[in-house]
Structures are given as structure tokens and as C-alpha cells.
Amino acid sequence: MFPELFLPIAYISVVGLLLLKDEYQSRRLNRERFEARAQVEWPVTVETISGPMYGHTDNISVTGALLVCLQPLYKGEIVKVVLNTPSRSMVVHAEVVWTDRYLPTEKYYPHNAIAVQFKRITDASRNFLTLAVYDYLKTDEN
């Protein structure tokens, strides 16, 4: 039809798609950090296909947690996490989002920092975490 119009329209379409993709990724990254996180150290047991591993939380939110363990996990791995809070125990299924070496200040040997995103969590557990994080942050302000 009009080949001289096709190239500018195609160029504008590609630039528009790239801008939308960049905006989507930016909003996604910002959304991940909007969740309030409580700095709590609760014991955890992570059940993997190679057996249980033990550690503790470094921080936790309603949608995920940062775990500290001696053994590594791999990005994308789905695990069952047993959170042992002071008042109850919860089981959640989580996906490993990232993992890195971590040297806690009180230890002389490296650990693994493992960020997990909760995939399956009961409504009761989600409500408990919401209240626990809120209470921790409320007492931390005072």
C-alpha cells in the first residue's frame, strides 16, 4: 500500500512496546518492595527433595522471606518451609527467588541468604503474618 508509511509506523510501534515493557518491569520491581518487612529471627525447616535443612528468617513479609541457612538452594526451586514463630508453626510452599553467600556478624563462616516468595499459604497463615509484621513494625517505631 504505502511502504513509506509502514516503516515509521513500525518504528513507533516497536518503541512503544519497549517503553511499555520497561514500565511493566519497573512497576513489578517496585511492587515487590512495597510489602512491609519485619526483621525477625524465627527458626525454619526447609523440606527439599534431598532432605530437611535448618536455618532462620532474617526478615519476613506477607509474600515472602529472607532465610539464612548453611546449605544452598537454587533459583526456581520449590520448597516447603515450616516457620516456627513464637506462638505457632506454619507450613508454606515457596519458590526460591534468589540466593547469595552471606556472612552473619555473629558467625565466622559463610551462610546462604535465600530469598523465597510464598506460593501456597493458607488464609489463616497469611492473616497471622499480616498481624505479626504489623505488630513488629508498630513496636519498632516506639
pLDDT of 120-133, one tens digit each? 999 999 999 989 88
**Residue spans per domain, the chain:** 1-34, 43-141
Q: Which of 27, 32, 25 is nearest to 98 (CA)?
A: 32
The sign one gets for the Cα dihedral 99, 43, 132, 93 is positive
Question: pTM here?
Answer: 0.71
Superfamily of domain 43-141: predicted glycosyltransferase like domains (2.40.10.220)
Q: Tens digits of per-residue pLDDT, 73-89?
A: 889 999 999 999 999 99
Alpha carbons 29 and 48: distance in angstroms, whole number? 28
61 grid coordinates = 513479609
